[in-house]
């Protein structure tokens, strides 16, 4: 169980990294900082809570950049996340951002433990 908790924390760290890198790359560091300010002021969501409130974070992006803009950002995050986790990515226009995240989390949970980490 402890190893599972560690994997979950690591997944959350990689997810936040993928979000920050993707948004900074496309929109710049100031836009990322503005996202965090908006999340905290409007929704009381802090940086470390983003993995648990991912839909709220992307609501702000959708409100700011529209549905298409937030979809583009979301897919950039997904591609980066899957690459960081070394997972195969099968894109589907009908799959939601949260479904990609859920699938990645499930794939990580089902993968064998790295014996060198034990």
- CATH number at 2-109: 1.10.1200.200
User: How far apart, in Å, are the Cα atoms of 3 and each of 11, 17, 74, 100?
Assistant: 12, 21, 29, 23
| Residue with the two structure tokens 């402890």 | 2
Higher per-residue pLDDT: 112 or 91:
91
Cβ neighbours of 78 (radius 10 Å): 21
| Residue with the two structure tokens 């993707």 | 22
CB 7 within 8 A of CB 108: yes
Residue 14 CA from chain centroid, whole number: 8
Q: Is residue 48 helix, strand or coil?
A: helix
CB 39 within 8 A of CB 56: yes
pTM (two decimals): 0.84
Give the model confidence (pLDDT) of 35-79 as tens digits: 899 889 999 999 989 998 988 888 888 888 898 988 899 999 999
Give the model confidence (pLDDT) of 3-29 as tens digits: 666 777 789 999 999 999 999 999 999
Which phi and psi (to 5°) does residue 77 adopt? -60, -45
């Amino acid at each position: 169980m402890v190893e599972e908790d560690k994997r979950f924390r690591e997944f959350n760290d990689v997810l936040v990294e993928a979000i920050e890198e993707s948004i900074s790359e496309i929109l710049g560091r100031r836009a990322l900082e503005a996202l965090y300010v908006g999340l905290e002021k409007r929704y009381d969501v802090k940086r470390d809570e983003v993995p648990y409130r991912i839909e709220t974070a992307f609501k702000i992006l959708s409100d700011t950049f529209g549905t298409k803009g937030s979809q583009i950002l979301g897919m950039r995050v997904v591609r980066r996340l899957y690459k960081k986790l070394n997972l195969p990515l099968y894109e589907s226009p009908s799959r939601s951002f949260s479904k990609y995240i859920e699938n990645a989390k499930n794939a990580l949970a089902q993968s064998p433990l790295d014996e060198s980490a034990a």
